[in-house]
Amino acid sequence: MKSIAILGFGVVGCGVAEVIAMNHERIAKRLGEELVVKKILDIREFPDSPFASLVTNKKEDVFDDPEISIVVETIGGARIAYEYTKMALSAGKTVVTSNKELVSTHGVELVKLARENNCNYLFEASVGGGIPIIRPLHRCLAANKVERIAGIVNGTTNYILTQMAENGSDFDSALKEAQAKGYAEQNPSADIDGIDAQRKIAILSTIALDGAYVDPTKLFTVGITAITTKDMEYAREMNASIKLLAVFENDDEGAFAYVAPHLVSKEHPLACANDVFNAIMVTGNAVGDAMFYGQGAGKMATASAVVGDVMDAAEHETRDAHVAEWFEAGDVLAPIEKHHISVLLRLPADVSEDTVSEAFPEISMQPCVYEAEGEKAFILGKEGDMTEAQLAVGLESFENIISVIRIF
């Protein structure tokens, strides 16, 4: 019998207990022994839960129990979860988590601690919810130089953008729905300001760079709060969707990682990911494009990835090779100012085309196929001749800018 504990009985923690109960027999068959949730640590009580008898608020019940060799951390955040994770790993207990904030902030230390204590720190569920991406990137695609990762990695913002595009919903009501469905972070800013996506792309970038740590807080990040229904109108007319993309690129100019809303052609596979679905396209120099698609948030989907990690850990308890060593490597990313982009720029109608040309000298510019009333719209940098730095300088010439959206 393999005993585990769950730390934090929120949406995902509860999902973990439910998945194990639901698939108890097949999990036991696969492992050759029963997988049992022995304790659930939470400061709250859950008298109506079928798992109520397992709930404890005493951390010793988990950390001092030698029978519990695997701990699921679904507390979230980087404070108590950090302390408990260190405590568990130091005691030689493998930790499995969906906590992207903790992994992206303290991954270097925690992976090292796991290796030192001959156990594992596993976080498949931290990116893409139920979609397998960490292990495929680290293992199955290990032979490749990863040239690009482009992903819709936040279910809440994808849900909001889909509702705005398809049903004309306003931003606030779409956010409320996503929260009610259990997709959103406790603090909605983490979703809508792109912080959650920033953490996820930092984790994927670190793996793509063979463990050279990418600090999420240093990534150029734009959220979706400025996206309007008029932007959606432009997208429709351009046969595109607006998606919050988290991107890693590694080319001759260096490695870049960033998060921003993009116009994505409806013909691109990423544009097909709607609602809470996530999609991640990885481009490797041997494999070409590989696409990962599925439910990126929610109780059972995320729990599916967590329990998968638990089973892997149960089968290979002392193997320290699930995650390569992560290490501090200084500034592994090139300055975002050097990154080449193209954008849709919407300006008030009274701005002349000459003024725009002067603001963006020697940069390719063409009028957008569609212009809403009272506006002028341009596509800039389509020839690959504009950097973020040039965009920023050009925009300084205008007092009023209606919107700027990057084009994928």
Tell me which residue has its CB nearest to ligand HSE: 156
CA–CA gap between residue 302 and residue 295 (Å, rounded): 8
Query: In angstroms, what is the minimal distance from the CB of 81 to ligand HSE?
Result: 14
How far CA 73 is from CA of 6, 102, 197, in Å, comes to 6, 10, 20
Residue 131 has which token pair? 């979609």
Query: In angstroms, what is the minimal distance from the CB of 296 to ligand HSE?
Result: 5
By rule CB under 6 A, what string of x and - marks binding of each residue 112-131 to ligand HSE? -----------------x--
Residues 282-341 that bind ligand HSE (CB under 6 A): 296-297
Q: Which residue, 156 or 221, is less far from ligand HSE as judged by CB?
A: 156
Q: Which residue, 154 or 241, is less far from ligand HSE as judged by CB?
A: 154
Cα torsion through 220, 225, 227, 229, rounded to 10? 170
Residues 147-166 that bind ligand HSE (CB under 6 A): 154-156
Query: In angstroms, what is the minimal distance from the CB of 355 to ligand HSE?
Result: 40
Which residue in the block uniquely carries the two structure tokens 């008298």?
A: 47
Query: In angstroms, what is the minimal distance from the CB of 191 to ligand HSE?
Result: 5
Q: Are 309 and 96 in contact (CB under 8 A)?
A: yes
Query: In angstroms, what is the minimal distance from the CB of 276 to ligand HSE?
Result: 7
Query: In angstroms, what is the minimal distance from the CB of 294 to ligand HSE?
Result: 12
Task: State how beta strands 277-284 and 146-152 pair.
Answer: antiparallel
CA–CA gap between residue 121 and residue 114 (Å, rounded): 6
Q: Are 353 and 366 in contact (CB under 8 A)?
A: no
Task: State how beta strands 254-265 and 240-251 pair.
Answer: antiparallel
Q: Which residue, 276 or 332, is less far from ligand HSE as judged by CB?
A: 276
**Ordered strands of the 35-41 beta sheet:** 55-56, 35-41, 2-7, 68-73, 94-97, 121-122
Determine which one of 200, 243, 299, 376 is catalytic.
200
The only residue of 73, 101, 196, 312 in contact with ligand HSE, by rule CB under 6 A: 196
Q: Which residue, 13 or 155, is less far from ligand HSE as judged by CB?
A: 155
Q: Which residue, 296 or 394, is less far from ligand HSE as judged by CB?
A: 296
CA–CA gap between residue 225 and residue 196 (Å, rounded): 14
Query: In angstroms, what is the minimal distance from the CB of 273 to ligand HSE?
Result: 12
Q: Which residue, 193 or 320, is less far from ligand HSE as judged by CB?
A: 193
Q: Centre a 10 Å sphere on the Cβ of residue 287 and count the other Cβ atoms it contains.
A: 13
Residue 19 has which token pair? 């998945």
Which residue in the block uniquely carries the two structure tokens 């925009």?
A: 395
Q: Are 259 and 201 in contact (CB under 8 A)?
A: yes
Answer yes or no: 200 catalytic: yes
Residue 168 has which token pair? 């004309």
Task: State how beta strands 55-56 and 35-41 pair.
Answer: parallel
Task: Return the DSSP state at 137.
Answer: I
Which range in 101-109, 184-192, 234-242, 322-330 contacts ligand HSE by CB under 6 A? 184-192
**191 touching ligand HSE, by CB under 6 A:** yes
- The alpha carbon of residue 140 and the mean position of all alpha carbons in its chain are separated, in whole angstroms, by 20
Which range in 50-58, 182-190, 250-258, 343-351 contacts ligand HSE by CB under 6 A? 182-190
Number of residues that bind ligand HSE (CB under 6 A): 11
Which residue in the block uniquely carries the two structure tokens 């000298």?
A: 361
Q: Which residue, 2 or 100, is less far from ligand HSE as judged by CB?
A: 100
DSSP assignment string, 169-192: --HHHHHHHHHHTT-S-SSTHHHH
**193 touching ligand HSE, by CB under 6 A:** no
**184 touching ligand HSE, by CB under 6 A:** yes
Task: Return the DSSP state at 124.
Answer: G
Query: In angstroms, what is the minimal distance from the CB of 186 to ligand HSE?
Result: 9
By rule CB under 6 A, what string of x and - marks binding of each residue 15-54 to ligand HSE? ----------------------------------------
Closest listed residue to residue 379, CA positions, set 360, 352, 354: 360
Which residue in the block uniquely carries the two structure tokens 């849709």?
A: 344
Q: Which residue, 125 or 344, is less far from ligand HSE as judged by CB?
A: 125
The only residue of 121, 123, 183, 220 in contact with ligand HSE, by rule CB under 6 A: 183
Contacting residues toward ligand HSE, per CB under 6 A: 129, 154-156, 183-185, 191, 196, 296-297
Give me the active site residues, please. 200
